[in-house]
Amino acid sequence: METVVVAIDGPSGTGKSSTSRAVAAKLGLRYLDTGAQYRAITWWMLDNGIDVDDAEAVADAARKPGIVSGTDPSAPTITVDGTDVSGPIRTRQVTSAVSAVSAVPEVRARMVELQRAAAAEGGIVVEGRDIGTTVLPDATVKIFLTASPEARAARRSGELRGKEAVSLEATREALVKRDAADSGRKTSPMAKADDAVEVDTTELTLEQVVECVITLVEEKAGQKQAVR
Ligand SMILES: Nc1ncnc2c1ncn2[C@@H]1O[C@H](COP(=O)(O)OP(=O)(O)O)[C@@H](O)[C@H]1O
Ligand SMILES: Nc1ccn([C@H]2C[C@H](O)[C@@H](COP(=O)(O)OP(=O)(O)O)O2)c(=O)n1
Protein backbone atom coordinates (compact mmCIF):
# COMPACT_ATOMS: atom_id res chain seq x y z
CA MET A 1 0.00 0.00 0.00
CA GLU A 2 2.94 2.43 0.55
CA THR A 3 3.23 3.21 -3.15
CA VAL A 4 -0.46 3.11 -4.07
CA VAL A 5 -1.91 6.19 -5.81
CA VAL A 6 -5.70 6.48 -5.81
CA ALA A 7 -7.31 9.08 -8.11
CA ILE A 8 -10.90 10.05 -7.29
CA ASP A 9 -12.65 12.44 -9.69
CA GLY A 10 -16.20 13.61 -10.28
CA PRO A 11 -18.51 16.60 -9.97
CA SER A 12 -19.47 18.46 -6.81
CA GLY A 13 -21.49 16.63 -4.16
CA THR A 14 -20.77 13.12 -5.40
CA GLY A 15 -18.87 12.34 -2.19
CA LYS A 16 -15.25 12.75 -3.32
CA SER A 17 -13.94 14.44 -0.17
CA SER A 18 -15.77 12.27 2.36
CA THR A 19 -14.94 9.08 0.48
CA SER A 20 -11.29 10.01 -0.13
CA ARG A 21 -10.66 10.95 3.48
CA ALA A 22 -12.27 7.78 4.81
CA VAL A 23 -10.46 5.54 2.33
CA ALA A 24 -7.11 7.21 3.09
CA ALA A 25 -7.66 6.90 6.85
CA LYS A 26 -8.65 3.22 6.63
CA LEU A 27 -5.75 2.27 4.36
CA GLY A 28 -3.13 4.41 6.11
CA LEU A 29 -2.63 6.66 3.06
CA ARG A 30 -2.22 10.44 2.77
CA TYR A 31 -5.01 12.58 1.31
CA LEU A 32 -4.91 15.54 -1.08
CA ASP A 33 -7.95 17.73 -1.87
CA THR A 34 -7.02 19.48 -5.13
CA GLY A 35 -10.33 21.38 -5.16
CA ALA A 36 -9.19 23.07 -1.95
CA GLN A 37 -6.04 24.21 -3.78
CA TYR A 38 -8.08 25.78 -6.60
CA ARG A 39 -10.32 27.37 -3.97
CA ALA A 40 -7.26 28.71 -2.13
CA ILE A 41 -5.78 30.41 -5.19
CA THR A 42 -9.26 31.80 -6.00
CA TRP A 43 -9.55 33.16 -2.44
CA TRP A 44 -6.16 34.86 -2.85
CA MET A 45 -7.19 36.45 -6.19
CA LEU A 46 -10.39 37.85 -4.61
CA ASP A 47 -8.54 38.99 -1.49
CA ASN A 48 -6.02 40.85 -3.66
CA GLY A 49 -8.67 42.57 -5.76
CA ILE A 50 -7.86 40.70 -8.96
CA ASP A 51 -10.73 40.54 -11.46
CA VAL A 52 -11.31 36.79 -11.76
CA ASP A 53 -12.90 37.24 -15.18
CA ASP A 54 -9.70 38.82 -16.51
CA ALA A 55 -7.80 35.67 -17.49
CA GLU A 56 -4.61 37.61 -18.23
CA ALA A 57 -4.56 39.23 -14.77
CA VAL A 58 -5.21 35.84 -13.15
CA ALA A 59 -2.44 34.22 -15.23
CA ASP A 60 0.05 36.97 -14.28
CA ALA A 61 -0.66 36.45 -10.57
CA ALA A 62 -0.78 32.64 -10.65
CA ARG A 63 2.69 32.13 -9.15
CA LYS A 64 2.40 34.72 -6.39
CA PRO A 65 0.56 32.94 -3.55
CA GLY A 66 2.33 30.15 -1.63
CA ILE A 67 -0.16 27.32 -1.24
CA VAL A 68 0.56 24.43 1.13
CA SER A 69 -1.72 21.42 1.71
CA GLY A 70 -1.45 19.19 4.79
CA THR A 71 -2.20 15.59 3.79
CA ASP A 72 -3.25 13.91 7.05
CA PRO A 73 -6.75 12.55 6.30
CA SER A 74 -7.85 13.03 9.92
CA ALA A 75 -6.98 16.75 9.81
CA PRO A 76 -6.35 18.09 6.29
CA THR A 77 -5.10 21.69 6.20
CA ILE A 78 -4.65 24.38 3.57
CA THR A 79 -2.66 27.59 3.94
CA VAL A 80 -1.91 30.56 1.69
CA ASP A 81 1.33 32.35 2.56
CA GLY A 82 1.13 30.74 5.98
CA THR A 83 -2.49 31.75 6.72
CA ASP A 84 -5.07 29.02 7.40
CA VAL A 85 -7.79 29.50 4.73
CA SER A 86 -9.81 26.32 5.33
CA GLY A 87 -12.86 28.40 6.35
CA PRO A 88 -12.71 31.29 3.83
CA ILE A 89 -12.28 28.98 0.81
CA ARG A 90 -15.79 27.54 1.40
CA THR A 91 -17.71 30.84 1.06
CA ARG A 92 -20.22 31.39 -1.71
CA GLN A 93 -18.00 34.11 -3.24
CA VAL A 94 -15.15 31.65 -3.70
CA THR A 95 -17.47 28.89 -4.94
CA SER A 96 -18.87 31.27 -7.61
CA ALA A 97 -15.42 32.38 -8.78
CA VAL A 98 -13.48 29.10 -8.66
CA SER A 99 -14.45 27.76 -12.10
CA ALA A 100 -13.21 30.93 -13.85
CA VAL A 101 -9.89 30.90 -11.99
CA SER A 102 -9.32 27.17 -12.46
CA ALA A 103 -9.92 27.44 -16.21
CA VAL A 104 -6.76 29.59 -16.62
CA PRO A 105 -3.91 27.38 -17.97
CA GLU A 106 -1.21 29.12 -15.87
CA VAL A 107 -3.20 28.40 -12.71
CA ARG A 108 -3.59 24.75 -13.67
CA ALA A 109 0.11 24.37 -14.52
CA ARG A 110 1.03 25.69 -11.08
CA MET A 111 -1.47 23.47 -9.23
CA VAL A 112 -0.49 20.37 -11.20
CA GLU A 113 3.16 20.89 -10.15
CA LEU A 114 2.09 20.96 -6.49
CA GLN A 115 -0.14 17.91 -6.95
CA ARG A 116 2.49 15.80 -8.71
CA ALA A 117 5.09 16.73 -6.10
CA ALA A 118 2.71 15.63 -3.32
CA ALA A 119 1.97 12.33 -5.07
CA ALA A 120 5.54 11.56 -6.14
CA GLU A 121 6.26 9.16 -3.29
CA GLY A 122 2.88 7.41 -3.58
CA GLY A 123 0.76 6.28 -0.65
CA ILE A 124 -1.92 8.86 -1.32
CA VAL A 125 -5.55 9.42 -2.31
CA VAL A 126 -5.90 12.47 -4.58
CA GLU A 127 -9.33 13.88 -5.38
CA GLY A 128 -10.36 16.41 -8.01
CA ARG A 129 -11.69 16.74 -11.55
CA ASP A 130 -8.74 15.78 -13.80
CA ILE A 131 -6.56 13.57 -11.60
CA GLY A 132 -7.06 10.34 -13.56
CA THR A 133 -6.90 12.04 -16.98
CA THR A 134 -4.11 14.62 -16.61
CA VAL A 135 -2.46 14.96 -13.22
CA LEU A 136 -1.71 11.31 -12.43
CA PRO A 137 -2.47 9.24 -15.54
CA ASP A 138 -0.47 6.31 -14.09
CA ALA A 139 -2.46 6.16 -10.83
CA THR A 140 -2.88 2.63 -9.45
CA VAL A 141 -6.67 2.98 -9.26
CA LYS A 142 -8.97 5.56 -10.86
CA ILE A 143 -12.51 6.15 -9.67
CA PHE A 144 -15.07 8.53 -11.17
CA LEU A 145 -17.92 9.26 -8.77
CA THR A 146 -21.32 10.40 -10.08
CA ALA A 147 -24.76 11.06 -8.57
CA SER A 148 -27.97 12.69 -9.79
CA PRO A 149 -28.06 16.51 -9.57
CA GLU A 150 -31.01 16.17 -7.16
CA ALA A 151 -29.08 13.94 -4.76
CA ARG A 152 -26.02 16.20 -4.95
CA ALA A 153 -28.06 19.34 -4.31
CA ALA A 154 -29.80 17.69 -1.34
CA ARG A 155 -26.42 16.72 0.14
CA ARG A 156 -25.01 20.21 -0.34
CA SER A 157 -28.03 22.00 1.13
CA GLY A 158 -27.85 19.63 4.08
CA GLU A 159 -24.39 21.09 4.73
CA LEU A 160 -25.46 24.70 4.22
CA ARG A 161 -28.57 24.52 6.39
CA GLY A 162 -28.42 27.07 9.18
CA LYS A 163 -25.46 28.86 7.60
CA GLU A 164 -26.98 30.45 4.51
CA ALA A 165 -30.59 30.53 3.34
CA VAL A 166 -30.25 28.90 -0.09
CA SER A 167 -33.10 26.95 -1.70
CA LEU A 168 -32.60 23.42 -2.97
CA GLU A 169 -33.38 24.62 -6.49
CA ALA A 170 -30.78 27.42 -6.33
CA THR A 171 -28.19 24.92 -5.04
CA ARG A 172 -29.05 22.52 -7.88
CA GLU A 173 -28.76 25.28 -10.48
CA ALA A 174 -25.40 26.45 -9.12
CA LEU A 175 -24.06 22.86 -9.18
CA VAL A 176 -25.21 22.24 -12.74
CA LYS A 177 -23.70 25.56 -13.87
CA ARG A 178 -20.33 24.73 -12.24
CA ASP A 179 -20.37 21.20 -13.78
CA ALA A 180 -20.87 22.75 -17.23
CA ALA A 181 -18.02 25.23 -16.72
CA ASP A 182 -15.66 22.58 -15.31
CA SER A 183 -16.36 20.01 -18.03
CA GLY A 184 -16.53 22.58 -20.85
CA ARG A 185 -13.22 24.36 -20.28
CA LYS A 186 -10.38 23.94 -22.79
CA THR A 187 -7.53 23.01 -20.44
CA SER A 188 -7.91 19.68 -18.69
CA PRO A 189 -11.70 19.60 -18.36
CA MET A 190 -13.43 17.41 -15.79
CA ALA A 191 -13.70 13.98 -17.42
CA LYS A 192 -13.76 10.28 -16.64
CA ALA A 193 -10.51 8.61 -17.68
CA ASP A 194 -11.03 5.66 -20.04
CA ASP A 195 -9.60 3.30 -17.42
CA ALA A 196 -11.53 4.77 -14.46
CA VAL A 197 -14.27 2.81 -12.70
CA GLU A 198 -17.49 4.82 -12.54
CA VAL A 199 -19.44 4.54 -9.28
CA ASP A 200 -22.94 6.06 -9.17
CA THR A 201 -23.45 7.05 -5.52
CA THR A 202 -27.06 8.29 -5.84
CA GLU A 203 -28.53 5.28 -4.02
CA LEU A 204 -25.49 4.35 -1.94
CA THR A 205 -24.62 5.37 1.62
CA LEU A 206 -21.20 6.89 2.23
CA GLU A 207 -20.16 3.64 3.98
CA GLN A 208 -21.10 1.63 0.89
CA VAL A 209 -19.09 3.92 -1.39
CA VAL A 210 -16.06 3.71 0.91
CA GLU A 211 -16.32 -0.10 1.00
CA CYS A 212 -16.58 -0.24 -2.79
CA VAL A 213 -13.50 1.96 -3.31
CA ILE A 214 -11.44 0.02 -0.74
CA THR A 215 -12.30 -3.24 -2.51
CA LEU A 216 -11.18 -1.76 -5.85
CA VAL A 217 -7.93 -0.43 -4.34
CA GLU A 218 -7.12 -3.76 -2.67
CA GLU A 219 -7.80 -5.66 -5.90
CA LYS A 220 -5.57 -3.38 -7.98
CA ALA A 221 -2.79 -3.16 -5.40
CA GLY A 222 -2.82 -6.97 -5.17
CA GLN A 223 -2.62 -7.35 -8.96
CA LYS A 224 0.39 -5.03 -9.15
CA GLN A 225 2.20 -7.03 -6.50
CA ALA A 226 1.50 -10.32 -8.29
CA VAL A 227 3.02 -8.93 -11.51
CA ARG A 228 6.27 -7.89 -9.81
N1 LIG B 1 -23.17 8.38 -0.51
C2 LIG B 1 -23.59 9.43 0.17
N3 LIG B 1 -24.87 9.51 0.62
C4 LIG B 1 -25.33 10.59 1.28
N5 LIG B 1 -24.59 11.67 1.59
C6 LIG B 1 -23.30 11.66 1.18
C7 LIG B 1 -22.74 10.56 0.46
N8 LIG B 1 -21.45 10.85 0.18
C9 LIG B 1 -21.22 12.08 0.70
N10 LIG B 1 -22.33 12.56 1.31
C11 LIG B 1 -22.50 13.88 1.96
O12 LIG B 1 -22.65 14.80 0.87
C13 LIG B 1 -21.96 16.01 1.15
C14 LIG B 1 -20.95 16.30 0.02
O15 LIG B 1 -19.93 15.32 0.08
P16 LIG B 1 -18.43 15.64 -0.33
O17 LIG B 1 -17.63 14.47 0.09
O18 LIG B 1 -18.02 16.99 0.16
O19 LIG B 1 -18.57 15.69 -1.94
P20 LIG B 1 -17.61 16.28 -3.04
O21 LIG B 1 -16.22 16.30 -2.46
O22 LIG B 1 -17.73 15.36 -4.21
O23 LIG B 1 -18.12 17.65 -3.36
C24 LIG B 1 -21.31 15.84 2.52
O25 LIG B 1 -22.15 16.45 3.48
C26 LIG B 1 -21.27 14.34 2.72
O27 LIG B 1 -21.36 13.97 4.07
N1 LIG C 1 -8.60 18.85 -10.00
C2 LIG C 1 -9.45 19.87 -9.91
C3 LIG C 1 -10.17 20.11 -8.71
C4 LIG C 1 -11.03 21.18 -8.65
N5 LIG C 1 -11.13 22.00 -9.71
C6 LIG C 1 -11.95 23.23 -9.67
C7 LIG C 1 -13.31 23.05 -10.27
C8 LIG C 1 -14.24 22.98 -9.08
O9 LIG C 1 -15.50 23.54 -9.37
C10 LIG C 1 -13.50 23.77 -8.03
C11 LIG C 1 -13.76 23.42 -6.59
O12 LIG C 1 -13.54 22.04 -6.40
P13 LIG C 1 -14.08 21.29 -5.09
O14 LIG C 1 -13.67 19.87 -5.21
O15 LIG C 1 -13.69 22.03 -3.87
O16 LIG C 1 -15.63 21.47 -5.27
P17 LIG C 1 -16.77 20.80 -4.41
O18 LIG C 1 -16.31 20.74 -2.98
O19 LIG C 1 -16.94 19.45 -5.00
O20 LIG C 1 -17.93 21.67 -4.60
O21 LIG C 1 -12.12 23.62 -8.33
C22 LIG C 1 -10.45 21.75 -10.87
O23 LIG C 1 -10.59 22.50 -11.85
N24 LIG C 1 -9.61 20.69 -10.95
Pocket residues for ligand 1 (CB within 6 Å)?
10, 12-18, 155, 158-159, 201, 204-206, 209
Burial class (CB in 10 A: 0-12, 13-18, 19+), 10: buried
Q: Give yes or no for residue 30 having a pLDDT over 60.
A: yes
pLDDT tens per residue across span 130-140: 999 999 999 99
| Strand-pair partners of 143 | 8, 197
CA–CA distance from 86 to each of 31, 49, 68, 176, 181 (Å)? 15, 20, 11, 24, 24
Domain ranges of the chain: 5-217
Q: Is the C-beta atom of 115 inside 6 A of ligand 2?
A: no
User: Would you say 52 and 58 are in contact if contact means Cβ atoms under 8 Å apart?
Assistant: yes
DSSP letter for each residue of 157-178: HHHHTTTS---HHHHHHHHHHH
Which atom of ligand 2 is nearest to 130's Cα? 1
- In degrees, rounded to 5, the angle at the alpha carbon of residue 149 between the alpha carbons of residues 186 and 183 is 5
89-125: pLDDT as tens digits: 999 999 999 999 999 999 999 999 999 999 999 999 9
The ligand 1 atom nearest the CA atom of 208: 1
CATH of 5-217, one of 3.40.630.30, 3.90.950.10, 3.40.50.300, 3.40.50.2300: 3.40.50.300
Q: What is the DSSP letter of 32?
A: E
Strands 141-146 and 197-200: parallel
- The whole-number pLDDT of residue 175 equals 94
Evaluate: CB of 29 within 6 angstroms of ligand 2: no
Looking at the CA of residue 206, tell me the nearest atom of ligand 1: 1
**Band of pLDDT at residue 41, cut at 50, 70 and 90:** very high
For a mutational test of ligand 2's pocket, the pick from 102, 114, 136, i.e. the residue with the most ligand atoms closer than 8 A to its C-beta, is 102
Do the interacting molecules here have an ipTM over 0.85? Answer: yes
For residue 3, CA distances in Å to 24, 26, 78, 132 come to 13, 15, 24, 16
Region of poorest pLDDT, from 86-90, 157-161, 202-206: 157-161
The model's pTM is: 0.96
Choice among 21-30, 67-76, 149-158 with the minimum mean pLDDT:
149-158
d(CA 217, CA 67): 29
Name residue 125's beta-bridge partners: 6, 31
CB atoms within 10 A of CB 21: 20
